[in-house]
Amino acid sequence: MRRGRRNAIGSTSVVWALLLVVAGLLVLVPRPGFAEEAEKAEPAKSRAYDPFGGMDANGRIPKIDKAKHVSNPERWRYLPESRIPPGDVFDRFLVSSIVFPIVFYNSDVGAGFGAGIADNDFRKQRRREFLGAFGSYSTEGQQSYSLGWRRVLKQVELPNGGVLQEERSFVRLSGGYRKTLTRRFYGIGPATNERDESSFTDEMFFVEGGLAQSLEGAFEDFIVSFAIRGEHHRLSGGEVGGAPDTDAVPGFVPLFDDADRTSLGWLNAGLSWDTRDSVRNPYRGAAIGGTVQAALLQADRTVGAIYSIFADKVWALPPLFHDGGDAGEEHPPTDSIGIHFRTQLSSGDLPFYVRPTLGGSNIQRGYIAGRWRDDALWAAAAEYRFWVIPRGFTVWKNIRVERIGGAIFYEAGGIGSDAGSLFDSGVLHSYGFGGRATIERAVLFRLDLGFSDEGMNLAAGFGLSF
């Protein structure tokens, strides 16, 4: 069993981190360009609010000529005037502001319930800013509280009402507290067994800020991202029935002790080439890129990092359960198939719970979260996504479900102590199916049931897995 190390914060590292933050912000500040000039246009004149302005009563949004206002119009999302009502947060309730229940399920934490309040037009910025507060509690005792803010960096006002937004450029801030009583740890490496399961409690405080920016001109297919994150973890015994505490298993004690009461200061940077028509819910296009997540600030002045490379490809397919909409529709229902590949390598000193892992709600969905950990991994996935109810329905007043569908997926992957050992380790397999529902194209909810040779894993949450 390899020993983990616990690190500390040094003043020199803090200075360097702050300098890098400033440099990154200067690099990523939007430069004047086609979209920047377009967004200087004056907003549409005040008019009486129409709850179906720019949208049919059944939720269909007629297409507009976005090419008049922006380059690469397929990457810009059109929000009709009906989705940008005037007034304060109470006047806009159930259209651009909402109080909503939170319901989710993951096999490691059980069923979760809570509430959130979200204002998609915070400070009345024409849907440019979002502010949300969320709190939840699960049947396995996980409690989570967070606050998040996000501002779109590229937005265009349309003279006839509505706005265009490019979802690839934004700035964000978030923070919160989470306490999970049922984290699993099976050891490190591909030879661990399901019977090696132990559990621990992870209590975490975090704060994070980030910036993403699509470049201009000949480089507009490229996205640069930059973020800093601070987090503090306190570990204790777990509460998984029938599983021993991680800090009571002889082989795990050194790893647990070195990871307890650890503060981590992360500096993250990424670069990708992305031609997809949407980052959050793509129907066509490709992306390839890499990220570096460097834990520069740890407890005894050592550092560690995780290096990732990923590639995605999405194809639109003929519809299976619907007619595919029409040529005059802004966002027609589109079935698709996506493939994904990623590899991760870690270096330096990192607590066991942040090392590359397979299992959970994103990759290897047939295994429980945290099932496989080591210093390197690879993973591949294919997913067929289709819509069954393409037009959706009204839930209550102005709350609409845009469309409902499903997905079928297959995944393979492996872990190892380094890149070379990945070729010698066995291949993990999982497969399954799930449900999909959207309120808007970028707001997608997912429920997946995955299967593997260790049983099944059920996960629900927000956004696609890739």
Q: Consecutive 10-residue runs of the chain (466 residues): their mean pLDDT?
A: 38 40 44 42 59 82 93 91 88 83 83 91 94 95 96 94 94 98 95 95 97 94 97 95 94 94 95 95 97 89 93 97 90 96 95 94 91 96 97 75 95 94 90 93 89 90 87
The pLDDT of residue 6 is: 37
N-terminal to C-terminal alpha carbon distance within the chain: 32
- Residue 397 is predicted with a pLDDT of 67
Q: What is the dihedral of CA 442, 443, 449, 450, to 10 degrees?
A: 30
In the prediction, which pLDDT does 39 show?
47
pLDDT, position 158: 94
| pLDDT the model gives residue 226 | 97
For the chain, list the domains and their CATH numbers. Answer: 11-462 (2.40.160.50)
Cα separation, 289 vs 251, in Å, equals: 37
Residue written as token pair 């049983």: 455
pLDDT confidence of residue 392: 81
C-alpha angle with apex 6: 3 to 8, nearest 5 degrees?
155
The helix/strand count (H/E) of the chain reads as: 3, 23
Strands annotated E in 10-142: 76-79, 97-106, 110-119, 129-138
